[in-house]
Amino acid sequence: MSKPKTILVTGTSTGFGSLITRTLLGKGYIVFATMRGLDDKNEKRANELRNFAEGKRGILHLLELDVTDTASVAAAIRQALELEDRIDVAVNNAGFGAGGFCEAFTVDQFQRIFDVNVFGVQRVSRAVLPSMRKHGTGLLINVSSVMGRIVLPFAAPYT
């Protein structure tokens, strides 16, 4: 019997990331669920995922990963590869939006959104691709928003 695929998912503390992780665990995959603040602000959410994983067919590895920090990304990918030797799929899911009057946002606020939603994807992709190339297989899945295709009032930083 072949070993299940290993899948790294970013932004698993809430929303789609948590749902993706739970679905994959139920289907028997090995999941590297990543989030910031495993031992503090997201400790409760991490424990909820741990509890959910008990009795599921899949295997859960919770990893600390901040997509805005290149060293954090590198450390998480290194840890994942030490645990399972490969990452077959990377799901770039971490992201957030902000609403309000365009002129009310500072450049720093815009940069923070871009750092997570755009450059975070690049950091994670850049970190996992060498291993995928080494193994001759791999898949990157970039989760985005319908807000990239439509424009809504008060959503300038996100669209």
Residue 33 in domain: yes
User: Residues 84-133: pLDDT tens digits?
Assistant: 999 999 999 999 888 888 898 899 999 999 999 999 999 999 999 999 99
Looking up residue 20, the CATH number of its domain turns out to be 3.40.50.720
In this structure, is residue 154 part of a structural domain? Answer: no
What residues are annotated to the active site? 158
Q: Count structural domains, the chain.
A: 1
3-state helix, strand, coil in the chain (%, to 5): 45, 15, 40
- Assign 134 a pLDDT band (cuts: 50, 70, 90): very high
Decide if 159 is inside a domain: no
Query: Cα dihedral sign for 84, 90, 96, 102?
Result: positive
Angle at 137 between CA 133 and CA 141, to 5 degrees: 100
Whole-number Å distance between alpha carbons of 35 and 94: 8
C-alpha distance across the termini of the chain, in Å: 45
* Residue pLDDT, tens place only, 57-98: 999 999 999 999 999 999 999 999 999 999 999 999 999 888
Domain residue limits at 41: 6-148
pLDDT 10s digits, 11-24: 999 999 999 999 99
